[in-house]
């Protein structure tokens, strides 16, 4: 058997040598038929099939996604099987990725079939001088397998490689925070609809200051959504879910979004509506948003004229314009060119275009939920409404553990009573708990919070008294005006009677 393979190898080498000679000296018109029959002869004695995966596409030498996926898949195989490794600083990866060195080979096995992966590098014919040596090289992965396993490889194995490679890429990648670019920049060289930075917000649901029952409810809802692909297909709905976060400023709406991202391992797409040209551009942004993402529109009531209260008092406008004749001109110049409408935004959320892609969360935040158009926040668009209100005692205990490493203290009882008697946001509570110097201890921070709560309570009391006094004065004024009006009417009636 060894002698037979040696003879076969010798024949193949001889054939390749003769083919090279013919290619060098034969006329061009004879090269094609010679190469054709040479390949047939080689395929007859060589029972292996090869598939190559180039590193770059023809789109401005953009790296192929398939090549990157294979690189991620082979990184696991190479770390245990390859003898020569190379560390790659892969874009968006948390750490270095180990891969095979140039011209190295590793084996893989799938359903009892043995395969060979190799990384090949060859120079590229350049017509001009290049200062970048890597630009003059062309790399590709080469998969080699026996021809009797063609069906298994093409129908099952390649899908397996891409699926596993994508899973490894997702587990290794860094989360990103995206912002949409103005539409006029999309047509520039290699212009993109979204720009991004690495998203490293440390917030988690464990550190989030809110009611524990509500927290568990939200976590359960998010996990159920992430596992609900089959369920959404069954009920005939797009795999997406809307969240409306509302409450006073400083109650943790933005922190909640960061905690969602860290729990789900989703990228965040911060959509700035004022830079979107029109409804068509809005749809294009949606299409360019991949799965496993959170689309966020913060302060939706302030983004555009999308609220239910769209009309202004014309008399007030006329008065202001008469005072300042250049006011309208300045406002026209400052007005956003965006033509996004409420109808366009509604279609963006749950229209037919929202089904392009899956596993997406859409999150709106607002400080004034009563200002929003009811059609915008109805169930089915914003499926879950989450009110983030003032700090309760349970939320305070989370903050005390985060900032002071305290789970109990004799002053907790006083703080619990004051939190029930006054309103203070978690942001204000956290600011008072944060040590202002290295020598300030936990008890001093708690006393500082108690003082702030008592001051807020007194301020609320004074404000309530002033409002009550103002209301009483207004009622008294209206009563006097009413009495005077009735007195005048009586006098007019009496005067009319006397005249008659």
Rounded CA-CA distance 278/400 in Å is 46
pLDDT tens readout for residues 124-133? 655 444 444 4
Mean pLDDT within 311-319: 47
Question: Do 365 and 245 meet the contact criterion of CB atoms below 8 Å apart?
Answer: yes
Q: Is the pTM of this model over 0.75?
A: no
Least confident of 115-119, 169-173, 251-255, 427-431: 169-173
pLDDT tens readout for residues 57-81? 765 456 688 888 888 888 877 656 6
Rounded CA-CA distance 372/389 in Å is 18
pLDDT tens readout for residues 456-499? 999 989 988 888 888 888 888 888 888 888 888 877 777 777 76
For 300, other C-beta atoms within 10 Å of its C-beta total: 28
- DSSP string covering 434-458, please? S-SSTT--HHHHHHHHHHHHHHHHH
pLDDT of 22 over the 70 cut: no
**DSSP symbol at 92:** T
Least confident of 103-112, 160-169, 307-316, 453-462: 307-316
| Domain-wise residue ranges, the chain | 10-46, 178-308+335-387
pLDDT at 95: 59
Rounded CA-CA distance 237/223 in Å is 18
Identity of the highest mean pLDDT range in 100-109, 166-175, 281-290, 483-492: 281-290
pLDDT at 202: 92
The two structure tokens encoding residue 455: 């001051």
pLDDT at 254: 93
Rounded to the nearest 10 degrees, what angle do helices 28-45 and 2-25 cross at?
Answer: 170
pLDDT at 403: 92
Q: What residues pair up with 138 in beta bridges, in sequence order?
A: 122
pLDDT of 122 over the 90 cut: no
Q: What residues pair up with 34 in beta bridges, in sequence order?
A: none
Least confident of 31-40, 136-145, 221-230: 31-40
pLDDT tens readout for residues 353-403? 777 778 899 999 999 888 888 888 888 789 999 999 999 999 999 999 999
Binned at pLDDT 50, 70 and 90, residue 304 comes out as low
Fold of the domain built from segment(s) 178-308+335-387: Rossmann fold (3.40.50)
Least confident of 15-24, 146-155, 209-218, 260-269: 15-24
Rounded CA-CA distance 273/377 in Å is 17
For 105, other C-beta atoms within 10 Å of its C-beta total: 16
Rounded CA-CA distance 432/413 in Å is 17
| pLDDT, averaged across the chain | 80
Run of H or E including 296:
strand 293-297
Q: Say which residue the tokens 């989703």 belong to.
A: 266
Least confident of 15-29, 227-241, 292-306, 340-354: 15-29
Q: Which of 3, 270, 52 is nearest to 158 (CA)?
A: 52
Q: Which of 456, 409, 399 is nearest to 433 (CA)?
A: 399
pLDDT of 265 over the 50 cut: yes
Residue 399 CB contacts under 8 Å (≥ 6 apart), including other chains: 209, 391, 426, 429, 430, 433
Rounded CA-CA distance 170/190 in Å is 25
pLDDT of 296 over the 80 cut: yes
Q: Say which residue the tokens 């060589």 belong to.
A: 46
Mean pLDDT within 190-196: 75
């Amino acid at each position: 058997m060894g002698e037979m393979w040696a003879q076969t190898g010798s024949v193949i080498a001889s054939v390749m040598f003769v083919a090279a000679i013919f290619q060098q000296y034969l006329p061009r018109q004879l090269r094609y038929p010679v190469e054709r029959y040479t390949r047939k002869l080689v395929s007859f004695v060589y029972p292996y099939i090869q598939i190559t995966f180039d590193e770059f596409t023809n789109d401005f030498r953009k790296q192929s996604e398939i090549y990157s996926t294979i690189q991620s898949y082979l990184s696991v195989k190479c770390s245990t099987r390859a003898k020569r490794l190379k560390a790659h600083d892969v874009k968006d990866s948390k750490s270095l990725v180990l891969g095979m060195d140039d011209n190295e080979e590793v084996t893989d096995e799938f359903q009892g079939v043995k395969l060979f992966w190799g990384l090949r590098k060859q120079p590229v014919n350049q017509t001009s001088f290049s200062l970048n040596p890597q630009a003059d090289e062309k790399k590709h992965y080469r998969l080699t397998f026996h021809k009797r396993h063609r069906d298994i490889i093409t129908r099952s194995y390649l899908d397996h490689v891409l699926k596993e490679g994508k899973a490894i890429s997702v587990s290794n990648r860094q989360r990103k925070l995206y912002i949409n670019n103005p539409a006029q920049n999309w047509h520039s060289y290699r212009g993109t609809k979204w720009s991004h930075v690495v998203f490293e917000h440390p917030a988690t649901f464990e550190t989030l200051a809110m009611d524990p029952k509500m927290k568990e409810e939200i976590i359960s809802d998010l996990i159920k959504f992430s596992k609900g692909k089959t369920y959404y297909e069954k009920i005939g709905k797009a795999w997406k879910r809307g969240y409306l976060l509302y409450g006073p400023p400083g109650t943790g709406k933005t922190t909640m979004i960061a905690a969602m991202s860290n729990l789900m391992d989703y990228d965040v797409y911060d959509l700035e509506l004022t830079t979107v040209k029109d409804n068509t551009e809005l749809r294009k942004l949606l299409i360019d948003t991949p799965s496993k993402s959170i689309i966020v529109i913060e302060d939706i009531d302030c983004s555009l004229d999308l609220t239910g209260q769209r009309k202004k008092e014309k008399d007030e406008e006329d008065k202001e314009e008469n005072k300042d004749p250049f006011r309208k001109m300045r406002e026209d110049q400052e007005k956003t060119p965006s033509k996004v409408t409420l109808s366009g935004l509604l279609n963006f959320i749950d229209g037919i275009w929202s089904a392009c892609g899956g596993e997406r969360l859409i999150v709106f935040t607002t400080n004034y939920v009563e200002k929003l158009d009811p059609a915008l926040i109805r169930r089915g668009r914003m499926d879950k409404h989450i009110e983030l209100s003032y700090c309760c005692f349970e939320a305070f205990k989370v903050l005390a553990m985060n900032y002071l490493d305290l789970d109990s203290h004799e002053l907790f009882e006083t703080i619990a009573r004051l939190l029930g008697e006054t309103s203070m946001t978690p942001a204000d509570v956290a600011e008072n708990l944060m040590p202002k110097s290295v020598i300030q201890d936990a008890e001093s921070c708690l006393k500082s919070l108690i003082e702030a709560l008592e001051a807020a309570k007194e301020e609320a009391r004074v404000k309530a008294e002033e409002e009550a006094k103002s209301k009483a004065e207004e009622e008294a004024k209206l009563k006097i005006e009413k009495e005077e009006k009735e007195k005048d009417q009586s006098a007019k009636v009496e005067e009319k009677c006397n005249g008659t």
